[in-house]
A and B are shown apart, each in its own frame.
Chain A
Amino acid sequence: MSFRAFLIAAALMIASASLGCQSGPAPGMAAARVNVIAKPKAGVKPTAFAHVPTYDGSPSESVTSSGGGQYARVDYANLSDIIVWLEPTKPFSSSAKPAIEVDVDPKRPDQTVRPVSVGQVVTFHNRSARPLPLYSVSDGNDFELPPIAPGATASFTARSEGLIELLSNPAEPPIAQLYAAPSPFVTRTRSGKSASFNNVPPGPYRVVSWHPRLPSSSTNLDLQQGKVSESTITVGVDAMRQASSR
């Protein structure tokens, strides 16, 4: 196999793993299915309030209470924007993950958090009708791109783990948000769903979750060749040790 063919095969492997194909792993590879559950803090009275809107995970600029003296509560059963990845616990090498394209338009800011991998190229496609300057001041991933013509693209490479807020006008909220995970095997899911990873090299991994608001959770998972290994990860405040307060 030529080097070029090897690179294409490796890229396809990572792409299929990220897409969560359900057809089982390719020969010599493994797969994982991670069930994600979000739970409220233990001891919270679940029936104290009737009105329970969905928390969409995006930063809220406005402050409101709903009518009738009920305050909007976090809906753990429908919690979105949970980023899940498999982190190899042994040294691991892989080729660069294919670039991800993100449509950007200040009139239609994306409220979700998109998963990317550290080292992955992110291509921004200007879907607005005017030239669009883009920049970020997020820790470890700061950049500034010259204005992108309508319909044109520009790219940057995620350099560091963490949330990346994409800005255009500093007076306005981010027009897109990305989370860069330290693994090529990363996806986004929501509570009650599962995150699937196919064609992953067998071996020991740490399953890690991230949410814009809640603490990260992690668990170990040993991926075996030719098998789909299953694990469950629980997202919630109880994943964090209770602080000793006075």
Chain B
Amino acid sequence: MKHEAMTILGAVAGLAMVFSAARAGPATTQSSDGAVGGSIQGTVTAEGDVPLSEMVVFLESPDPNRSMPPVPTAVKVSQKGAQFAPKMVVVTVGQAVEFPNDEDRPIEHNVFSNSTAKRFDLGVYGPGQSKTIVFDKPGPVVLYCSIHREMDGVVYVSPTPYTSRVENNGHYQIDNVPPGEWVVKTWQRRRRFAEKSIPITVETGQSKTVDLELTRR
């Protein structure tokens, strides 16, 4: 009975969050002065056969007071088969993540993280229940279940919504970037190279190519 009540409460909270985010509208393609955004694309290259798909390219603003578009709606990271699905997700600061237990058998999980960007413990809960947490600081948040030893995942919290997962061939693309000064940054789930940080200027309506060569130093 208690579990059912918690499930209903969780579902109501999740719906309220989705509706709230929907009212905020989609990410704008214009800056605050009405200018149309540009785009950034390029190729990430690195020595060796490193899985590039587990890398993220994102933009950071050198101006901490720069206004950002509304935070996107919550994303879902399921727990099923004693695994997180997806195993890696990229969100924006302020964005929520739902953690439903989708097991089809009575298997409980205890999702937690000990990462600097977000330390949390969602407690133990069973199938049909879900908990949601807001990620309010940028950086990687490594997920574990305290019960199941091979259950791990990661939420990468980007400081801005301007992000791109790197494709297997190394290509990335970030669209609808407001004009102005930005810093292109990289993050690797399994860090094998020094991260990149490249200041750039985005101009209205233009596509800029920024190729990134990852090196050991």
Q: Which residues of A contact B (CB under 8 A)?
A: 40-41, 43-45, 48, 53, 55, 60, 62-65, 69, 71-75, 135, 137-138, 142, 144, 165, 167, 169-171, 173, 213-216, 236-237, 240-243, 245-246
A246 and B13 within 8 A (CB): yes
Encode B88-117 as 1/0 by CB contact (under 8 A) with A: 000000001000000001111010101000
How far, in whole Å, are A53 and B98 apart by their CA atoms in the complex? 30
B121 and A171 within 8 A (CB): no
Q: Which of B17, B46, B110, B216 contacts A41 (CB 8 A)?
A: B110
For chain B, residues 11 to 53, give those with C-beta under 8 angstroms from any C-beta of chain A: 13-14, 17, 46-50
How far, in whole Å, are A137 and B50 apart by their CA atoms in the complex? 15
A243 and B107 within 8 A (CB): no
A137 and B150 within 8 A (CB): no
Interface of A is mostly: loop
Nearest chain B CB to A83 CB, angstrom units: 14
Q: Which residues of A contact B17 (CB under 8 A)?
A: 246
B147 and A240 within 8 A (CB): no
How far, in whole Å, are A242 and B132 apart by their CA atoms in the complex? 13
B112 and A240 within 8 A (CB): yes
Q: Which residues of A contact B82 (CB under 8 A)?
A: 65, 71-72
Q: Which of A53, A75, A167, A245 contacts B131 (CB 8 A)?
A: A245
Most buried by B among A65, A213, A237: A237
Q: Which residues of B contact A215 (CB under 8 A)?
A: 112, 114, 119
**How many pairs, one residue from A and one from B, have CB atoms within 8 Å of each other in the complex?**
121
B147 and A73 within 8 A (CB): yes
Q: Which residues of B contact A41 (CB under 8 A)?
A: 110, 121, 123-124, 146-147
B194 and A72 within 8 A (CB): no
How far, in whole Å, are A213 and B142 apart by their CA atoms in the complex? 9
Known: A41-B146, A170-B193. A245 touches B133 (CB 8 A): yes
How far, in whole Å, are A203 and B78 apart by their CA atoms in the complex? 49
Q: Which of B96, B120, B148 contacts A243 (CB 8 A)?
A: B120
B192 interface residue, CB < 8 Å from A?
yes
B147 and A74 within 8 A (CB): yes
A135 and B216 within 8 A (CB): yes
For chain B, residues 109 to 165, give those with C-beta under 8 angstroms from any C-beta of chain A: 110, 112, 114, 119-124, 131-134, 144, 146-152
Q: Which of A48, A62, A142, A236 contacts B194 (CB 8 A)?
A: A142
B149 and A74 within 8 A (CB): yes
Q: Which residues of A contact B134 (CB under 8 A)?
A: 246
Q: Which of A43, A44, A63, A242 contacts B150 (CB 8 A)?
A: A63
Q: Which residues of A contact B107 (CB under 8 A)?
A: 48, 71
Q: Which residues of A contact B108 (CB under 8 A)?
A: 44-45, 48
B86 interface residue, CB < 8 Å from A?
no
Q: Which of A44, A60, A245 contacts B152 (CB 8 A)?
A: A60
A171 and B216 within 8 A (CB): no
B146 and A171 within 8 A (CB): no
B7 interface residue, CB < 8 Å from A?
no
Could you write out 29 A-B pairs with CB less than 8 Å apart? A41-B121, A41-B146, A44-B147, A48-B106, A48-B107, A60-B152, A71-B82, A71-B107, A71-B148, A74-B148, A135-B216, A135-B217, A137-B191, A142-B217, A165-B191, A170-B193, A170-B216, A171-B48, A216-B114, A236-B146, A237-B110, A237-B146, A240-B119, A241-B121, A242-B121, A243-B121, A245-B120, A245-B122, A246-B132
Q: Which residues of A contact B173 (CB under 8 A)?
A: none
B105 and A170 within 8 A (CB): no
A169 and B48 within 8 A (CB): yes
Nearest chain A CB to B201 CB, angstrom units: 28
Q: Which residues of A contact B46 (CB under 8 A)?
A: 170
How far, in whole Å, are A171 and B146 apart by their CA atoms in the complex? 29
Closest 5 pairs between A and B when the two form their complex, measured CB to CB: A243-B120, A71-B82, A170-B192, A171-B48, A245-B131
Q: Which residues of B contact A245 (CB under 8 A)?
A: 120, 122-123, 131-133
Q: Which of A53, A167, A246 contacts B149 (CB 8 A)?
A: A53
For chain B, residues 47 to 106, give those with C-beta under 8 angstroms from any C-beta of chain A: 47-50, 81-83, 96, 105-106
A73 and B119 within 8 A (CB): no
